[in-house]
Amino acid sequence: MKSLSLLIVALACISCNSTSTNRDSKPLPNEPVSLQLPRVEPSLKGVRYSLLLDFENQRDLVFLNTPDSGSDEQHRHTGFRSLQLAGGVKTTIKLSSLMMGRPFPGEYTLLGAYFRSDRIANITMRCKLSGFAPLERNLIVSGNEWKPLLLDLTELTPTKDRDEQPAILEIRTDAIVYLDDVLIIDNTHEFVPMSDGGWSIVQRGFKIKVDRPTMFTLTLNSAQGKADGWEVEEASVARARFSMPGTGKSLTVYNDGRSFWDGAFKPLSAATRDDPGYATQHHAPTRIEVAEEVGKVIRNSTGDANADGYNEARGCYMIRANGPRLQIEIRPAASPAVRPVFEISGLPSGKVLVNVEGQMVDAATRLADNTVLLVLPLRLARATQISLRVE
């Protein structure tokens, strides 16, 4: 029995070692660098990119002006070698020549490369393109870890200067660094595509744009490019939720213009600004009840400041269903409930039919995790029964 246990442990160790990623391990035989990149950098999976330089061949140096630099086989992000850059000098890369007849930047949104240093090094990368103001960004590397330095090409600002100079990338560093895998990326991601009468949520470069035409537009910095940037947690035709990594900050936006920044209500559209009912119901939530045999009100969700079932961070009531049917009673008091929102977990898969006192209402949206988001397009001034059934 002891021998069998030792064998199981040994097999488990072999399995763990075989699946671990070591960026300094040699690539697979005959594996192109362009195929290694998504394996080494999972963020590139499913993203369109073009590898401009990988420094696997000396002819790559034709596209560079690199004083005191040379090929290095001890450090590599991918492939078998990288390029060592000396400190205190400027390296210039001829981008226009590398594009091989394609316009720069075309539809690509990011330009970047990977850097590493044996000591703390400050790196500045600058892109110059005729007719546009230069783009510049800094990076500090240390600890023998490869890090990307990316420029947001969507931030190129036109100028009156038309000197027709070719596009170049300048790199300066104050210490010896290793450079590998210069590439351009199209990170455009439609979380919610534009639809008739709806909204769109799209990331391009380091910006996330939430756009409801004629109603409101919200542009956010993404966490990929800014320390105080946002990541998309949830996106649907009705609602989007964002978080700021490492801070606990949250943002919830509804397609009617309601937004909640760390639980604080902020109207984005004229309709939500002009109707005081939206702010009133957020600060003094209406009471709701759910029969125990069909479900329960969740009073301990993260973002519920008062343990009353209304989640201030998400701007909605939280409910868990026990099965395919649910009945909710909402009881407005001093002020009406304006387009109240219910987030309901536990309902089985299928079409959700919503009935408000005999009237069928098309108001349910399935989220990616199968949760149902119910946004009632009604203004309720008295106690009202809401019935849901999954068919």
Q: Are residues 38 and 154 in the same domain?
A: yes
Residue 5 lies inside a defined structural domain of this protein: no
Among 21-35, 137-151, 160-174, the minimum mean pLDDT is found in 21-35
Boundary-marking domain end, from 146, 169, 186:
186
For residue 11, pLDDT over 60 is answered with: no
Residue 8 lies inside a defined structural domain of this protein: no
CATH number at residue 133: 2.60.120.260
Q: Are residues 130 and 150 in the same domain?
A: yes
Residue 214 lies inside a defined structural domain of this protein: yes
The secondary structure of residue 103, as a DSSP letter, is -
β-bridge mates for residue 342, sequence order: 317, 374
Residue 17 lies inside a defined structural domain of this protein: no
For residue 382, pLDDT over 50 is answered with: yes
Q: Are residues 179 and 31 in the same domain?
A: yes
Residue 298 lies inside a defined structural domain of this protein: yes
DSSP 3-state assignment of 207? Answer: strand
Model confidence pLDDT, tens digit, residues 322-365 = 999 999 999 998 889 999 999 999 999 999 999 999 999 999 99
Model confidence pLDDT, tens digit, residues 108-130 = 999 999 999 999 999 999 999 99
Query: HEC profile for 198-262?
Result: CCEEEEECCEEEEEECCCEEEEEEECCCCCCCEEEEEECCCEEEEEECCCCEEEEEECCCEEEEC
Q: Are residues 258 and 232 in the same domain?
A: yes
For residue 151, pLDDT over 50 is answered with: yes
Mean of the per-residue pLDDT values of the chain = 90
Q: Are residues 180 and 40 in the same domain?
A: yes
**Cβ atoms of 223 and 231 closer than 8 Å:** yes
Q: Are residues 97 and 229 in the same domain?
A: no
How far is the C-alpha of 81 from the C-alpha of 287, rounded, in Å? 65
Q: How confident is the model at residue 160 (pLDDT cuts 50, 70, 90)?
A: confident
The two beta strands, 135-141 and 121-128, are antiparallel
Q: Are residues 42 and 180 in the same domain?
A: yes
Closest C-alpha to 96, from 54, 132, 137, 128? 128
**Number of domains comprising the chain:** 3
- Return the residue matching tokens 């900050």: 249
Q: Are residues 54 and 155 in the same domain?
A: yes
Q: How confident is the model at residue 9 (pLDDT cuts 50, 70, 90)?
A: very low
Model confidence pLDDT, tens digit, residues 63-94 = 998 877 788 889 999 999 999 999 999 999 99
What is the largest distance, in Å, between two alpha-carbon atoms of the chain?
80
Boundary-marking domain end, from 166, 186, 206:
186
Residue 14 lies inside a defined structural domain of this protein: no
Lookup: tokens for 126: 């600058």
Boundary-marking domain end, from 153, 186, 219:
186
Tell me if the bond preceding 105 is cis, omega within 30° of 0.
yes
For residue 269, pLDDT over 90 is answered with: yes
Q: How confident is the model at residue 379 (pLDDT cuts 50, 70, 90)?
A: very high
Domain residues for 365?
283-390
Residue 71 lies inside a defined structural domain of this protein: yes
Q: Are residues 269 and 293 in the same domain?
A: no
Q: Are residues 232 and 181 in the same domain?
A: no
* Distances 133 to 93, 160, 163, 194 between C-alpha atoms, Å: 18, 9, 12, 31
Closest C-alpha to 308, from 285, 331, 328, 330? 285
Q: How confident is the model at residue 144 (pLDDT cuts 50, 70, 90)?
A: confident
Model confidence pLDDT, tens digit, residues 12-37 = 333 333 333 344 445 566 678 888 89
Q: Are residues 375 and 341 in the same domain?
A: yes
The whole model's pTM is what? 0.86
Instruction: Say what the pLDDT of residue 3 is.
Output: 41
Residue 2 lies inside a defined structural domain of this protein: no
Q: Are residues 267 and 291 in the same domain?
A: no
